[in-house]
Amino acid sequence: MGLFDRKEKETKNDKDSRGYIQKIVDETNFEIATEKNVDSLTAEGKTLLILMADWCGPCRLQIGGIVNMAKDGWFRENDVKPIYVDTDNNEKTVMKYGVMSIPTVIMVENGNMLQQIVGSLPKEVLKSKLKTAYNI
């Protein structure tokens, strides 16, 4: 399945049709980026763009580690704002950042992309890469 192929497109208003990743994102209170707000969300401070889709198996693995980092307080302690980007509904954002595969996480600071990581990584490896990119 290609990056922009869709499985049963969900509506934003139908809570029962929300996919696995969307439900997790809702429970963690991550910011959700759209085509209209992604630039303002990443304009100031350290942000982590989390680009995923519900139909992507490796995305489901990666979101678990990211959620655990949030529950452990890692993002709050390091002043990093996690922002979820649904790749199926934000094709312009996907193209803007040159995303070719998912899961992809993109480290942004004050509107500038610092680094992009493609693929599912163990939580500790991801933390190490984030610390390096953000100089934490």
Which one from 41, 59, 63, 126 is the annotated catalytic residue? 59
Catalytic residue (one of 33, 38, 48, 56): 56
Active site residue 56: yes
> How many CA atoms lie less than 13 Å away from 99 in the CB half-sphere?
32
Q: Could you tell me whether strands 80-86 and 112-118 are parallel, antiparallel, or unpaired per DSSP bridges?
A: unpaired
Chain position carrying tokens 């995305």: 59
User: How far apart, in whole angstroms, are the C-alpha atoms of residue 55 and residue 37?
Assistant: 24
**Catalytic residues, which ones?**
56, 59
